[in-house]
Every structure is written in C-alpha cells, then in structure tokens.
Amino acid sequence: MHRLRIVVVLGALSAFGPLSIDFYLPGLPRLTSDFDASASAGQLTLTACLLGLAFGQLAFGPLSDRFGRRRPLIAGLVVYCGASLACAAAPDIWTLVALRLVQGLSGSSGIVIARSIVRDLRSGVGAARLYSILMLVVGVVPFLAPIVGGALLHATTWRGLFVILGVVDAAILAAVLAWLPETLAPDRRQRGGQTAAGFLELLTDRIFLAYAAVLGLNFAAMFSYIAGSSFVLEDIYGVSPQEYGLIFGVNALGIVAASQLNRTLVAQASPERMLLAGVCAGTTAGVALLAVVLAAGSVCPGSSRACSCASPRWGS
C-alpha cells in the first residue's frame, strides 16, 4: 500500500505539465473574448506557462539535489495553488500572462522532482518500469484534460477551471505531506558547482545537442497546433468547447498509440531510421494541415460564429 501511494503521488506530480496546458484549452477563445484581447495575446497565456514549465525545471532540479526533494516540492505546490487562484481573478490578459508564467515555474517542481524521486528509489529495470507508469500518465492526461475541461464549461467559466486547478493542486499537496517521505539522504546531496559542471558538459556534447534540437523543433510544431487549434476549430469551423475537447483528446490518443507502436518498431529498425521517418511524417502532416486550414479560412460560410473574417480577435 505504501508503494502504491508513492506511485499515485508521483503520477499526479507528473501530470502538472499537460494539465496546466490542456485543461483550459476549450475555454481559451472565450477567455480572449472576455478580455477583448487578440488571439495572439490569448496564446501568450499558453506560451508563458510553457516557458515556466521548461525553465523552472532548471531551477527546481538543482534545488532538490541540494536541499532534498520535499522542501522544494512543497514550496512549488504552495506557489502553484496561489497562482492558480490568482489566475481565476486576473483583471486583464497581461496580468494573466504573468500569473501563468508563475504557475508554470512552480508547476515544474512536480515534473522534475517526480523523476528525481524515481531515480532515488529505483535503478535499472525497476526504474524503467516506474518511468513507464509516469509516461503513461503524461500520455493519458492530455487526452482527458480538454474533455473534462470542456464538459466543466457547461457548469462554470474559464475562471472556474483555474479554481479547479488550484483545488487539484491542494489535494496533491496534502498527499505529498501525508504519503511522500524524503528520498534523498543528506549525504547524497550535491552542491551547485556539480550541477553547473553537468550543464556545461551537456552543452558541449554535439550528439546531445543534435537530438535536443530535433526534439525541441518537433515540440515547437506541436505546441503551435496546441496554441492555435482552439481558435481555428471553434472560430472557423464552429465547433463547441465540448466538441473541441473530444477532437483534442483524439490527437492525444494518437500520440499515445504512436508511442506504443514506436516501442514495437524500434526493435526492427534502427532508432535513427525511426526518427527520420517520424520527422518526415510530421512534416507532411503539418503541411497538409496548413493547406486545409488556409482553404477553410478563405471561404466565408456566412455565419459570424464560423467565419474567420467576422471575428475581430483575428485581426486585432
């Protein structure tokens, strides 16, 4: 039972990234409308959170190596809860962008420290199995989050979704306090100089930088879709927030299915060939998607709801 509780807590912590990004996507067009903001300004709320999730890991990882896992994690969860509630009360779009940055920075604590705890508790095959469970959570949450968020918009607004994020964070914080012990003994903790040396070593590794560039560019393409899909589907194609949640969920389900297919095929083909095939397939799909959206945007269906030229947010 103790091990199961730890796995549940680590899975919840790993969900911070997709939950913070995907949960409120169905309400993003309404959010920008309420603030009388442009679509690009609304998309900045996503970008700010993503930047916080990325750069926050560079801070919380070394902090947890030096001071232990629990204290930085608890501090991050407390700040995340406050930032979520502040997002719900944001008076304007730019305040929301700033708060989303804080939310991402604090939420990154759960992502990076969960992986660090796995390293503390397991090694070899045991670590690989536990990581696979966390990756399953990371794959399933993007599928469920927009569906649940879209359904909740029947009963609340986008502000209510941020309140719910704060409540979920508070529940995870309570679970951490009750179930998650300190896993990094004082004699295993590191000093800041060791962390800096590790970063410098990675930055001089050409092979690492090449793979990191491919992964980063691929994620940039995916995030472009995430940031713009709700506006395109809801404003141009006229789908409801609930329908958007289902469509986005299908996308996430495809990612999970493809990752499982990759696990099977990589044993038959080299990783380099699989990577090249994946990049080529993604490029082709991206070009096709762009052509479809441009074709749809050039035609005005006559409904102000589904006509891109009738929406002031696209031109502002």
Q: What is the pLDDT of residues 11-52, one digit of tens each?
A: 899 888 888 988 998 899 999 999 999 988 998 999 999 999
pLDDT tens, position by position, 200-222: 888 888 888 888 888 888 878 87
Question: What is the value of pTM for the model shown?
Answer: 0.75
Counting every residue written for the chain, the total comes to: 316
- Residue 296 CA to residue 316 CA, distance in Å, equals 20
DSSP state of 182: -
Residues 72 and 182 sit within 8 Å (Cβ to Cβ): no
What is the per-residue pLDDT for 105? 96
- Cβ atoms within 10 Å of 171's Cβ, excluding its own: 12
| pLDDT higher than 50, residue 310 | no
Residue 314 pLDDT class (50, 70, 90 cuts):
very low
pLDDT tens, position by position, 153-169: 989 999 999 999 999 99
pLDDT tens, position by position, 172-190: 999 999 999 999 988 888 7
Taking Cα atoms as reference points, which of 88, 74, 69 lies closest to residue 23? 88
Segment 71-82 mean pLDDT? 96
Segment 270-276 mean pLDDT? 79
Tokens of 68: 């232990």
Residues 223 and 25 sit within 8 Å (Cβ to Cβ): no
> 87-114 as b/e, with b when 16 or more CB fall inside 10 Å?
bbebeebeebbebbbbbbbbbbbbbbbb
pLDDT tens, position by position, 283-299: 898 888 788 877 766 65
Tokens of 107: 């939420």
| pLDDT higher than 80, residue 256 | no
Mutual orientation of helices 271-297 and 241-265 as an angle, nearest 10°?
A: 160
What is the per-residue pLDDT for 303? 42
| pLDDT higher than 90, residue 246 | no
What is the per-residue pLDDT for 189? 83
What is the per-residue pLDDT for 122? 85
Residues 30 and 156 sit within 8 Å (Cβ to Cβ): no
Domains of the chain (ranges plus CATH)? 2-315 (1.20.1250.20)
What is the per-residue pLDDT for 35? 95
Please state, rounded to an integer, the average pLDDT across all residues of the chain.
Answer: 83
Burial of 133 (0-12, 13-18, 19+ CB in 10 A): middle
Query: In sequence order, what are the residues at sequence separation of 6 or more whose Cβ sits closer than 8 angstroms to the Cβ of residue 2?
Result: 179
